[in-house]
Structure 1
Amino acid sequence: MDAATAELLVPLTDSRRAHTIAVGRKVERVARLVPELLRAEVVTAAYLHDVGYGYPATGFHPLDGAELLAARGYSLTVCHLVAFHSASTVEADVRGIPQETLDQFTMSADVPGLDIASDLVWWADMTTGPTGETLTLDERLADIRVRYPEGTLVRIAIDRAEPLLRGAVQRASGSM
């Protein structure tokens, strides 16, 4: 992790920072699975996937993070991976955030390796606990469900997103 990335993580809580760093380290270890052109970007996005929690503007951390990173000159690839990590579109829908709000960060699905890059960020996020510990996907989902009671926005979103999350984790795990 470079100094600029570390600096952006300073406003996060200690536990959120530990989670984010662990996600970045996981992706760093498997980045060889994406085309060389995307490796540095997927690692950067993994380290910064939750940066929006430290810079709340809309209250939706994937969007807040992507907007912050775009304003600071990060590539569209990094912004895309942050904006769309871990089925964020499902939570955006639950929150009533129009799809058009995220469209500015959408990349073509034709970019070679973007699909596996995205899966790797989702996999690392969904197999890392809130303080950086390694969990199974089932353990991670159970933890989220404990922290966000039934009926809350995050709980509704995670319940709806579960099939997408499982698919990404299975694809990423199968490519290792």
Structure 2
Amino acid sequence: MSLVPWAYEVSRQNLASTLPRRWAHVQGVAQKAQTLAAAVGDDAALLEAAAILHDVGYAPHLAKTGFHPLDGAVYLKGIDAPGRLVHLVAHHSCAVREARLRGLEGQLADFRDEEGPVRDALWMCDLTTTPDGEPTDFVSRVTEIKERYGPGDLVTVFIDSAQRDLADAIARTTSRLREFAG
């Protein structure tokens, strides 16, 4: 089985029945990834696989630390997922900032942030998709996250601190898309 169908099956098995809203979200993120394929060239399949798997660490039976990027990456590494895929899941959506707040930066450091076009596009996919899997814009998504968690919550503090990095990744991806369309 090739990477993308395998990733969908792993995600479905871990999220569809236990976390149906999260399953809807990752499917929407994966659909967005398909639209951004030109921005990542030959890595389009990797982007889509990372998109469908980025939140697998939310699955209750996989949650070891309670920090889903790390829990997902550890799980995927344990089932011999490709290294880049594991690292992209670990570092999706500026996870290092939240890891610092949670005291998990050392554990996240076991995974490399590739800081390139695929990473940027994955961040864009996640931060322009609602929890229900519908397209949205970045500002609306950040507002939704802050309202869902409330003032002072660690996730709200994280999203405030990461907002510039996330916006920059989205801008870089948008620029790459324009280059390929032009």
Give the structure-2-normalised TM-score.
0.87
Q: Which residue of 1 aligns with 2:151?
A: 150
Correspondence 1:40 to 2:45: yes
Correspondence 1:93 to 2:94: no
2:73 to 66, 73, 82: 66
Aligned length: 169
Q: Following the alignment from structure 1 to structure 2, what is the Cα–Cα distance between the partners of residues 126 and 4? A: 22
Correspondence 1:106 to 2:106: no
Measure how far apart 1:13 and its partner are: 1.4
Contact 2:64 2:71 in 1 (8 A): yes
Q: Secondary structure at the match of 1:150?
A: coil
Aligned residue identity for 2:170: V
Q: Which residue of 2 aligns with 1:166?
A: 167
Measure how far apart 1:4 and its partner are: 3.7
Measure how far apart 1:102 and its partner are: 1.4
Q: Which residue of 1 aligns with 2:180?
A: none
Correspondence 1:28 to 2:34: yes
Q: Following the alignment from structure 1 to structure 2, what is the Cα–Cα distance between the partners of residues 121 and 138? A: 17
User: Structure 2 regions of 5+ residues with no counterpart?
Assistant: 178-182
Q: Secondary structure at the match of 1:34?
A: helix
Aligned residue identity for 2:46: E
Contact 2:11 2:56 in 1 (8 A): no
Give the structure-1-normalised TM-score.
0.89
Taking only the aligned residue pairs, the percentage that are identical comes to: 36
Contact 1:62 1:88 in 2 (8 A): yes
Q: Which residue of 1 aligns with 2:63?
A: 56
Contact 1:19 1:131 in 2 (8 A): yes
Q: Following the alignment from structure 1 to structure 2, what is the Cα–Cα distance between the partners of residues 58 and 91? A: 13
Q: Secondary structure at the match of 2:95?
A: helix
Contact 1:9 1:48 in 2 (8 A): no
Give the superposed CA RMSD: 1.6
User: Structure 1 regions of 5+ residues with no counterpart?
Assistant: none
